[in-house]
Structures are given as C-alpha cells and as structure tokens.
Structure 1
Amino acid sequence: MAIDFSKRPARPSGLSDGVEGRLSSWCRRRAPGLLNVVTLARQGVVRPMLPDKLLRILLAWRRWGITPPLGYAVGAVRHPDRPAIIDERGALSYAEVEQRTTRLAHSLRERGLDRDTRVGILCRNHHGMVETIVACAKVGVDVALLNTGLSPHQVATVVAEQNVGLLIVDSEFTEHITAVGETEVVLAWTEGTTGHATLEHLIGSAPARPLPRPPRHHRVIVLTSGTTGSPKGARRPDPGGLSPAATVLSRMPLRSAERMLICAPLFHTWGFAGFQLGIVLGATLVLRRKFDPQQALAAIQRHRCTSVFAVPVMLRRITELPASVRSPYDCGSLRVIACSGSALPADLAKDIQQEFGPVLYNFYGSTEVSWASIATPKDLRQAPGTVGTPPPGTVLRLLGSDGRPVRTGETGRIFVANEMLFEGYTNGSGKDLHDGLMPTGDLGRFDSAGRLFVVGREDDMIVSGGENVYPKETEDVIASLPEVADVIVTGVDDEDFGQRLAAYVVTREGSTLDADTLRERVSSRLSKFARPRDVVFLDQLPRNATGKVVPRELPDSTGSGGVS
C-alpha cells in the first residue's frame, strides 16, 4: 500500500520542534504539572475560547466533574455539530449525544436505581453502549461492562455477583436474556420487533430538561479476561484531572478532533481507554459492531480515520489479507495505530510498519495498573519485541525474588505505580503492593537502552530439568517462521523433567510444515529446555472476544504421543 506521508496533517501547535522540545524538557525538570498543560495544548485539547463558552464549560465541570458527561457537555459547547459517534446506523453530533444522554438519564432515574444497584451492559461497539455509559454517569449509577464472549451461564453469574438491577443488552444475545431471569432488560441494538423496552424508547419518551448534579460519581466495573478462571470485576478509578490523558498523549501523538476507529471492544480495558481519550480530544468515534479486517480498512478510507485502537489479533488479520484486497484502500490518513490487550509479536510489529509506515504504538498495561509503558515507532523499529519505556509520572521496576531491582538483561517481576491504579476487585480482594508499586503478574527484562521486554506471565514460567523456561521466548521464535500464522506455547507436566513445553500451531494455507521440521528450524535459536517437546497443529487457536488465547480450551498435547 503506497502512502504519501507528506500529506499527513500538520501539528496544531505553533511551536517549532526545537522550541517545543526545549520547553517540554524544562517542564519535565522544573514543573511537571505544567508539562501536562503543554502536552494538552500541543495536541489541541487546551486552547483559547470566548468567555461565554468558557463559563458554560466551567458550569458543566462543576456539575459533572472529570467524567464522560463533561466531555460531551464540552463538545456540545465547543463543536456541537461535530460527529461524536459514527456507526452502521449513521452519525450523532456532540449536541445530539449530550441531549440524548440527558433524556436517557431521566428514564434511568425513573426506574429507581440506587447506589447499590448496577447497570450491566452487554453490547457490541455502537452508539447505544456509549450513550448508556454517559447516561449512567449523569445519574451516578455504577456500570458493569460485560464481555460479549461470555456464555449465558457466565453472564447470569456475573449479573448476580455484580448486583445488576438493569441489563442493557443487544437483541442478538437472546439466550443471555433468558438466562438472567427476573433482571430487568432493555434492548440496545435491535433487529426487527422486540418484546422488551428499547434504548430508543427510553430516550424518546423522556424530557430533555437539565439534570441535577448526581449524588456521587459513578464507577465503571471492567471484567478481567477470565482466560484462566472466572472473570473478576475490577473497579476503575475516576481520573483526578486531565493528567492521565496528558501522560498517554506525551507518547502517542493523538490530537484534537481525531477520527478514531475503535476496533477493540468497548467492554475491554483497551477499547474503553480509546473511548476515554476520544472524549478528552473531542474526537469522532468510528465504531463497528463486529470486527472484519477488510471493513476496517474500508472504514479508515471512508471516514479518513487518523487513528485506530486495536488488539494484536486484529492487526494480524489485516496483514493476512491478500495484497490484492489491501492495496485498493487508501489509509494515508493514519497517524497512529494504537495496539494493546495482549503481546504484540515482533514479526507482526515489522509487518504493520512495513504496511502502514511509522505509525505503530504498542501500549503495555492491564486492567489493574492501566498503563506501564509505551513503545513508539522508533522503539519498535529498533527493537520490534519491546513494549517501550514508562511515560512521565510512571514508575516501572523489575524486582527479583528478594524484592530488589534486577540488573539490566535479567528477568524480574514487573511492578508499576501511576495515578490510575485500580481500586480493587468487586469481591473485596486486591493486589498486594510493594512500596506503593502494583504487580502486573508479568515477568520482564530491560535492555541496555532501558526498553522493557515482557517475557511471560509469572504463572506461565516453568521449571524443566531444573532450568527456568519462559514460553513466550519459544512462542516468538516459532511465530517468526513464515509458515506459521498463529501460535501459543504453554507448559505441561513431564515425568522426567518436571515440566516441558507444548506448542499449539496454526499454519498458513498451503503450508506443509510438520512437527519435526519445526523443531529442527527453531533448535539453533533456543536452548535445549526451551525447545517444544510437543507440537500440536490446530485449525485455529481458542481466543476470547478480546483476542486472548484461552489455555483451558486447548486440547491435551499428549493425546497422540505428544505430536499431531
């Protein structure tokens, strides 16, 4: 795909690169708070405005605080006609979203929801999900974002555990609606006639008069992925101001009035992060209910999207499209491809940059710690497997078993401190802190340039023949083989060595790769104990709705002598 990078929009800042760089450097040393203002001004978030508009924004801030309703109230003042959301059913302006969410909030208040009752949202990416989140914030009611990949039984369990009194759900999830029993249901995205109330009915039948200030700030409950067990609800904190956005924007050059294609599910931490950043930037959110790689390219071209939020498996599916399918789409408007949610393989980082240019940013974090590090295009060009370095205001340490920092090149547990650490799980449990630092559950190492590399999960490390072995190292080497389309490596029990590695491999169409050939081709790049003893070929890996592999759904690698 040919891209003319000279046609990319210029920065909104009027400062030269040199002056801007010196100013940022001075602020970082002498006035960290001012650095946030400089960052937000550079990205066009903070700028002069008429006194009457400023007064209206201050009144909105007094009413809503730093919450989603403030973003749409500000947008309705500053750029009321700008599209706020574009999905398959059209566009809604900032003024329309502001009014529609006020009406929806009135309808929710009439249902008598109290502070102990939550609204559950089981929706794909569309305007109804966004409007529900904003309306609940206007009422002060907590929301629980449910994974669309959960089974009906799991949804029923989560609804009970999270004390969900009202479930907003897309009509396609008919089995899930039945499973929740007596819980009140309102349909968001509908197809044809329904037997339930709908969001459009609630919005259309309520007044648009101003709402009182909510009695409390609502909380958003994001479910953990549940790949190794039942999903847990994690309470996300309210940002104390715009500094969290400034922290991310200091590394990812997102700008005011972005057109953001959010491919990652909004119920996922990464998709929700894109939504939050979009509010700050006054962005247009381009949403599609289901991800399709060719439709994603078409959306980028049609809406001139400047940024994309996606998880690695989505980017992989785009690169796997035939060149004849990809090449007709003009994606020259893209300045940022923001990737997170699971490990970004080094070969995929190279493919994306070759296809789209130096626009890839790899964001490492979790539901619990929000962000830890960000890799820029320069980082990924120099070290494709890295997750980068911590942004300003973030502390990132690698600690050994003795609780002390490890040396460069050594593997340690990853600990993080920033202003957006989660507030604990809804079941009352949390994560133990170490000197104010929260563990991510991952293991990593620093290179000589201070870049972080994640080598695997703490509970993924195996001991084989007395050696510590990290499956991700083996996984990356196998993934680099041109015949391999997808792979996961995991540990299994072994009578002689304690544990051994099993590789589950999906090959590309037409490949004749077999287990012996695979082992032979990776042997020179891996230590003896890091070579996979078992190799299982599958048509596809079992992944959840956010693209993470679900290990418990993998077949037994020993079913046919360890190799299939």
Structure 2
Amino acid sequence: MMMLSNIMNENIKEFDEYDFLYFGNRTYTNIEVDRLSTIFSNYLLSEVENSGDKVIVYLANCPEVIISYQAILKAGKVVVPVMYALNAKEIQYIIEDSNVNTIITSNALLENIVKVAEKTGKKLNVIVTDNIENDAAEGSVNIHELEKIYNHSKSQNREELNISEDDLAVILYTSGTTGQPKGVMLTHRNLYISAQSAARLMKAEMWKKPTLVALPLAHSFGFTAMNTYLFLGSSVVIIERFNADEIFKAVEKHKIRTFTAVPAMIYGMVMNPNIDSYDLSSLEGVLSSSAPLPLALMEAFTKKTGTEVWQGYGLSEASPVVSTQWRGATIKPGSVGLPIDIVRVKIINDEGEELPRNEVGELAVKGLNVTPGYYQLEEETAKTIVDGWLRTGDLARIDEDGDIFIVDRKKDIIIRGGLNIFPRDSEEIIMTHPDVLEVAVIGVPDEEMGERVVAYVVKRPESVITELNVISHSQEHLAKYKTPQEVVFVDQLPRNGVGKILKRKISELYQNKVMN
C-alpha cells in the first residue's frame, strides 16, 4: 500500500541502518528517526488530551520536522506544515481554518502561538522541540517538551491503525499569492506516488548518495524531496535556513552531486562573493522548481559553477511534481521538461477544449498525485478540478516532443489595448541588462488603454541605471506595447517563504504609491 506512514520502515528494509540526517554536529540514523517518531506517535495518541485529528508543525528546518511528520502520520493524524517565517496573524488563520488543537514548534516561535491562544481563547497543546524559556506561555497553552517525551515514554512499539492510502495525510496551505491561503488536501497515495516517481527518475545519480535540503520542509517541494530521498536511501544534510555558504560547505564536505533549489536560492548562490572559495567540483547539477528561473540567472549559475541547472514544474495541488528535466535529457532553454510518468497533461482554452501543440493556453494535469480538493472549499475545488483534470492557472505550451514551456500565470496576463502581454517576456529581457539584479512586471489600471506595464526593478549596488535605460533596453528586444511604460526602483521584491515573488503585494505597493 502507498502509505507515507510506512515509508521509514520500507527505507530500513531496503537499506538497513545508515546515517540518514546531518544537522550541525549531530547525526541521526534512519533507525533512530524511526524509533523516535514511533515514541512520539504513541505519545500523541495516548498522552495529549484533545489532540484532534490534525497537527501543525511550525519549525525551521531541523531533524525534528522529519520526526514530527512521521510521528503524526504513524498516529493516523494529518500533518499541517507551516512556514516558520509566518507571523501570529497568519498562523491564527491556519489554526482557525484547519481547526487544529496541537502544534509542534520551538521556543523561538512559541511567542506567536501564545499570542494566538490569548487572542482566540483557544486552549492549545504545544509540543516544544527544545528547552522552554518563555514563562508567559504558562497558563496560555498546555506545554509538552519533546526531550521529556523521549526520556519518559513507556512504549516504543508502534500501534497499528486502520488507515488507508486514500485517507488524508497532509493539508498544505498555499502561499496566498493571489489572496487568502487555501488548504490543499493531499492523501497518502498522492504524496507517496509523487515521491516514488521522482525517485525512479533520479535513481541512477542519487541512489544511496548524499544530498542536502535547504528548501523549507514545510513547503510541498521540500516535503516531497525528503520522501524521495527515503526511497533513494540518501543521506541528507539539513540546512536550517537558506545560507549560500552553508550550502557550499555541505557540497565540499559531503561531495554532494545534486540537490534541489528554488530560483531565489540560485540567485543567492550566484551573488555570494565567496562562491569561488569552495570546492564544488563534485556538483553535477541542481534541480530548480517552484517559480520561473530567468535564463540569464541560469546561465550565470552555470558559468560560476560549471554545473547544469535542470528545471522542473509543480504545484502543491499535484503533490507537487508535474514535470522535470534531468541528467541526460535534451535541455531546451525555457522548458520545464517532460511530464513525469504518473501524469497526463494538456493545454486547454477557457472553454476547457484541448489546444494543438505549441499553442498557448492553460496547463491541465491529471494523475494519482492530484489533490482531491481544497479543505472546506467545495466551490473552489469544483472550479479547479474539472472532470478529474487539475486546472493549474498557469499558461503554457507543449511542443512537438512533449516538453512543457510555462509562459506565465493566467492571472498575471496584462491586457493593453486589447492585446495580451505576458509579463515574463518583459522580465526575461530586463534581466539581461547588466545593471539589473531582479525584476517583476505587473499590469496597473490605465484609463485609455485598459492596463499599462510597470516594472519593479532591483538594481545592482552603485548602479546609475535609470528608468529610461530600462525602457530603451526593453524596446530594443520587444515590441513597444510589451515594454514598461513606467519603472519603479526598489531595494527588494516581496517574496513568500520559498522565495516566490508576490505580485499581489507589488500591486498593493503601486496602489499605495499612487494614492500617496
């Protein structure tokens, strides 16, 4: 059966005992992670009063995240992963929407949970993975210390529960790039088969090889990456928060051949002044997904490291993998690769009709990895999953070889004078200017033309680039109507926890700018 709760046991049967997780100076074997998660699971079942059927894990990357996920799943409960960067207000929304009573967190993040408990009057069970130092927590929440659970547990035998592969395993809250976060429901089968498929693809290069995780483990990409590494018997260096130097050190020390990243991480590595100080010769390729990777950035990374960048595409609703490039495949610039072996894809128009090859429309996906829907949002589910096909909201085309090319987010299209403009076209061109570090292009209301194109640009330090420079550079390569009518220079672009640029926030910034 395709059960996430069995994945550790399957790993141990396949690979025996090995060093599974490296974190700072601490090493955990796969058997130790399995034992600790079983102890924790039994505690959740028997000792945490009113624990409920869902448990939030609100932690920065650490081994306790993996242990907690396994414990919750073994207890037959549902994991609700939450980004450590979220504030109390955002946490409150997820707690109330998912009706969670139990939260696993650290002392550093406990204050946010206490604020939620005090504001809502809800008595929360809080399991802290390190030492409690917050006296204000007393009385506001029921505190449990994970170390005491390990030391005083009476049972290390796993309880067998009546759960199936179609049961809910995880609720992943979307990043809320276009509004309030939605809870994506994922079953044991959804997540198991997605990781299993990824492992089949990576087996030749990754079988029993070391890798690293700097992606947030609360994100669907990081979550599935860890499950994939269990299938592969990989040893994993866990990076608490993205830090380019820590990644370089891990690659040098453990002779890592490949790892997964998002474009913001690749950008951070390219811009790190110490990159040439490390021995990265073992590195063969980096798999980038979660957001579009500008071609100029990909080329800069390859030039700096001599390493390939493979692109993939996915979304939480697909657990999350849809397509990917990998070593040995024909790498087409701008492509996110071929669909993985468990999914079908097609391009559709607004009426849901399939379009011919190389025509641009909405990408639709079907497979056993696709979510059954959004938690408590039946209307939203019905709009997103039609006749079993997940409508991704991404505009794409599929070429004659089956490679997928993401064109843009459907909601981000700019319509100027009746003509469609894809922001990514303009962003790719602006990024080629030597004085530009980052860019995001949005559409804003325009009385005459419907919308006008505005570019938000982060320029290189000490650069003297002007608005006219950006516009002129764009018009050298694109039709005039596709280029910015206005350029706004900013110190940084708003992002979510995995570095995806939040265009909704940029639109709000522009609106505030106009009003002021």
TM-score by length of 1: 0.82
- The Cα of 1:461 is off from its aligned counterpart by 0.9
State the one-letter code of the partner of 1:120: I
Unaligned runs of 5+ in 1: 1-64
The reply to whether residue 376 of structure 1 matches residue 326 of structure 2 is yes
Map of 2:158 onto structure 1: 211
Q: Deviations over 1:310-342 (max 9, x none)?
A: 1110111001112xx112212233344121111
Aligned partner (choices 265, 280, 285) of residue 236 of structure 2: 285
> Is the 1:250–1:391 contact (alpha carbons within 8 Å) kept by the matching residues of 2?
no
Aligned partner (choices 112, 123, 127) of residue 186 of structure 1: 127
The reply to whether residue 306 of structure 1 matches residue 231 of structure 2 is no
Runs of 4+ in 1 over 6 A off after TM superposition: 191-195, 558-562
Alignment of 1:438-517 (within 5 A): 438-517=390-469
Q: 1:185 to 1:94 in 2, by over 3 A?
A: same
For this pair of structures, how many residues does the alignment match? Answer: 495
Aligned CA RMSD, in angstroms, stands at: 2.5
Map of 1:99 onto structure 2: 35
Q: 1:558 to 1:230 in 2, by over 3 A?
A: closer
Q: Deviations over 1:83-107 (max 9, x none)?
A: 1111125111112111111111121
State the one-letter code of the partner of 1:74: E
Map of 2:174 onto structure 1: 224
Map of 1:349 onto structure 2: 298
Q: 1:149 to 1:439 in 2, by over 3 A?
A: same
> Is the 1:388–1:451 contact (alpha carbons within 8 Å) kept by the matching residues of 2?
yes
SS of residue matched to 2:242: coil
Aligned partner (choices 205, 213, 234) of residue 184 of structure 2: 234
Q: Deviations over 1:146-186 (max 9, x none)?
A: 12232201101211211111100122114312223121111
Q: What CA distance in whole angstroms lies between the structure 2 residues aligned with 1:434 and 1:254?
A: 37
Q: What CA distance in whole angstroms lies between the structure 2 residues aligned with 1:395 and 1:229?
A: 28
The reply to whether residue 197 of structure 1 matches residue 144 of structure 2 is yes
- 335-344 or 273-282: which moved more? 335-344
> Is the 2:216–2:222 contact (alpha carbons within 8 Å) kept by the matching residues of 1?
yes
Q: Deviations over 1:435-492 (max 9, x none)?
A: 4321111001234544222111111112101101111111111112221111111111
Q: 1:377 to 1:91 in 2, by over 3 A?
A: same
Map of 1:340 onto structure 2: 289
Q: What CA distance in whole angstroms lies between the structure 2 residues aligned with 1:552 and 1:558?
A: 11
Q: 1:456 to 1:405 in 2, by over 3 A?
A: same
Map of 1:391 onto structure 2: 340
> Is the 1:115–1:142 contact (alpha carbons within 8 Å) kept by the matching residues of 2?
no
> Is the 1:67–1:137 contact (alpha carbons within 8 Å) kept by the matching residues of 2?
no
Map of 2:75 onto structure 1: 139
State the one-letter code of the partner of 1:256: W
TM-score by length of 2: 0.89
Q: What CA distance in whole angstroms lies between the structure 1 residues aligned with 2:182 and 2:385?
A: 19
The structure carrying a bigger strand percent of its residues is 2
Q: 1:348 to 1:377 in 2, by over 3 A?
A: farther
> Is the 2:194–2:321 contact (alpha carbons within 8 Å) kept by the matching residues of 1?
no
SS of residue matched to 1:283: coil
- 187-196 or 276-285: which moved more? 187-196
**Percent identity of the aligned residues?**
25
Q: 1:346 to 1:69 in 2, by over 3 A?
A: same
Q: What CA distance in whole angstroms lies between the structure 1 residues aligned with 2:190 and 2:102?
A: 28
State the one-letter code of the partner of 2:22: I
The reply to whether residue 168 of structure 1 matches residue 104 of structure 2 is yes
State the one-letter code of the partner of 1:270: F
Q: What CA distance in whole angstroms lies between the structure 2 residues aligned with 1:251 and 1:80?
A: 23
Map of 2:57 onto structure 1: 121
Q: What CA distance in whole angstroms lies between the structure 1 residues aligned with 2:392 and 2:218?
A: 20
Map of 2:120 onto structure 1: none
State the one-letter code of the partner of 2:180: S
State the one-letter code of the partner of 2:178: T
Q: What CA distance in whole angstroms lies between the structure 1 residues aligned with 2:327 and 2:510?
A: 38
Q: 1:399 to 1:163 in 2, by over 3 A?
A: same
